[in-house]
Each structure stands twice: as C-alpha cells, then as structure tokens.
Amino acid sequence: MHGTTVLLIEVGALLFALGMLGRLGRRIGLSPIPLYLLAGLAFGHGGLLPLSASEEFIEVGAEIGVILLLVMLGLEYSATELVGNLRSAAPAGIVDALLNALPGAAFALLLGWGWKATLVLAGITWVSSSGVVAKVLGDLGRLGNRETPVILSVLVIEDLAMAFYLPLITAVLAGVGFVGGMQALAVAVVTVIAVLVLAIRYGGAISKAVSVQDAEALLLSVLGLTLFVAGVAAELNVSAAVGAFLVGIALSGQVAHHAVEMLSPLRDLFAAVFFVFFGLTTNPADMPPVLLPAFGLAVLTMATKVLTGYVAARQAGIALPGRLRAGLALMPRGEFSVVIAGLAVVSGVQPQLAPLATAYVLITVVSGPLLARIPDYAWAKSWLRRRAATRRTTERVPATD
C-alpha cells in the first residue's frame, strides 16, 4: 500500500477515534485530555496498535497544537493587562519557583544523580503545562473567571523563565562552559525583550495591518504570523510557545475577536493531536520501574502547585473558591517538562530520567484535569460556603480576654 494512502488511513481513523473519545468524555462529565493521552499510549511504541506512517505528521501537528493553544490565550488579554498582571504576579512567580523547583532538585540529589541532573529535574517539576492548562480552562468554561488572569500570569512568568532556562541548560548539558552558556542566555534575553517591545508598542499597528473584512485573509494572516514568530523564537532557542503567546497579545480589538472565532476549530483539532503525540512517545514498558517514585514526586509537587495558585490568587484579592480553582488548574506538567527531559537524555546525563519524567508528567496531566473539577461539585461548593460563613462569623465576634 502506498505510503500516502497509509498516512490518510491512520490519520483519519485516529481523528475519528478522538472525536468519539471527546464525545464520550463530555457525556460523562470528564475532560477529554486523559482519554487523548491514553489513546496515544495505545497507538504508540509498545502499545496495542502502533502508528508508523503518520508519526512525523502527528509530531508536527502536536507542535502546532501547543502554538495555537498559547496564541489563543494571548488573544484573551491586551499588552497593558499582561504588564499589569506580570507586575502583580512577580512575588507569586518567585514562590512558584521555590516551591516547585526545589522538590525536583532535592529528589535528584537524594538519588545521587549529580548536579546536572539536579538542574534538569528542578526544571521538570517547576513548570506547569501551558497547553494542558489552557485546554482545561476552556473545557471547564473558566476563561472569563476572575482567577484566570492570575493563572495566566503564573504561566507567562514560567514560560518567560523557560526562555532563559532552556538555552542555559542546553549549554550546561553540552559542556560548552560558562562563556557559551552566557552567550546563549544573552541571545534569549535580547529576543524576548525585542518581541515584548514589538507586542506592546506596535501592537495597534500590527492589528491594523490585518483585515477583519476578509475572513480568509484574516485566518491566513494570523496563523501565518503566529507560526512564523514561534518558529523564529524556537530557532533563537527561545520558547515557541512564548512567541505565539506574544503574537496573541499584540493583536487587539476586532482583529483579536474575529481571530478567536476563526482559530478555535483549528486549536481544538491540533490540541487533541498534541495530547495524543505525548502518549505516542511513551513506551508503556518503561513505566513500571519508576512509577512509585514518580507518583510520590507528583503528589508532592501537585500539592505545591495548589499552594502556588492559592497564594497568587489571594494576593490578587480572589475569594476562596477562586484560589482553589487557580491552584488546582496549575497542577499538570507537560510540554516543557518533556523537552527538558529530552535534552538530558540526548546528553546522556541519567538514563532513568526519561522514564521518570514521562511517568511523572503522565500522572500530573491525567489527574490534573480531573482534580481541577473539584470546586464545581456540589459537595465542594457546600463545603466552601460553610467555610465562608464560619469565617464571616469569626470576624464579627469580638475578641475576649
């Protein structure tokens, strides 16, 4: 059978299966993300029915999926809101780094993996998955919630930090020395600042250059600009996701509104492919030996992420339900963690790092969307109301000697 024919059959069958899984998930009140991941495991290396002809296509589609998820997030906010949120969330960003990077570093040291593996595992446990979090917020209808800008601020700080961390860790793992690492970091800093300046100062001009009267031209212009900027950012060792997010920030007004409508179906398609690809790259046979330590690390760092979101939302004046929603939404790790682990594996730092990171990410990315629904359940709402009533009563009662 011709290679193209096999490709069409595999991709068509996969997309149809994803559609049925998504329908099943929504019917039983479950986010489709865990189902997409399990489908990837079933069709990946070591799975029940490995896909061969379409693997490269799915890999490219997965990269586009992350880019579209981030540009759609950026379209929800203006450059002014971004700067304001970053300033207000800076303390939470520091807390986030301390609470979530240190457990990974300590875990690597306990295993005796050395300082390079320690830096790698710290990055893996630090950063939430922007793609998964964006999908969860959309699935649960929370994009307009008060706590969403807080969540977004934490994600943006992490993604910007990755724009500096990834070139630095790449240089460290490659053994280029201090000078080479500083050069890579300098390129990343200059690139991020340049894109931010363009987005904030010239966003209006960019929006005017894109027509909202011609739907076809709008779709091609926004999609093309997003992929171009993301590709340039990745070529400069800066996160493609950061570049895509900043493109979304640069577009405003009617252009942003129409772009959201035009790109939403594409985002849903390629986001599903992204989650499937993550499962495809995982061999289930490598998981059992590292499952227990990965589970312990996941439980610890998911709890620290909840604390991170809680603190950030409290600083923004969000009520208790919003604080819990913010913390629970930040738990999944994903694309950045996989990229960091991949860099370490290529450099030969620690053979066990790859299966540990894969098991860790899968645990957080499967359980995270499920646990994020907790504040929406009736029993949780009732408990939160009782807590709020008890707190108000306590505050009204005067202190006695």
The CATH number covering residue 289 comes to 1.20.1530.20
Residue 196 lies in a domain: yes
Residue 24 lies in a domain: no
Q: What is the reported pLDDT for 330? A: 93
| Most confident option among 12-26, 32-46, 112-126, 255-269 | 112-126
Per residue in 157-194, pLDDT (tens digit) is 887 777 678 777 777 777 766 566 677 677 767 776 77
Whole-structure pTM value: 0.72
29-33, 154-158, 272-276, 373-377: least confident range? 29-33
Look up the domain containing 241 and give its range.
31-374
Per-residue pLDDT at 106 exceeds 90:
yes
Number of structural domains the chain divides into: 1
Question: pLDDT confidence of 105, banded at 50, 70, 90?
Answer: very high
Q: What is the reported pLDDT for 303? A: 95
350 conformational bin, left if phi > 0, alpha if psi -120 to 50, beta if neither: beta
Residue 19 lies in a domain: no
Q: What is the reported pLDDT for 310? A: 92
Residue 85 lies in a domain: yes
Contact assessment for residue 363 and residue 298, using Cβ atoms and an 8 Å cutoff: yes
Residue 186 lies in a domain: yes
Residue 26 lies in a domain: no
More confident residue, 153 or 106: 106
List Cα–Cα distances, 353 to 110, 124, 303, 341, 401, in angstroms.
14, 10, 22, 7, 57
Residue 96 lies in a domain: yes
Residue 394 lies in a domain: no
Q: Which residue has the tokens 């690492």?
A: 181
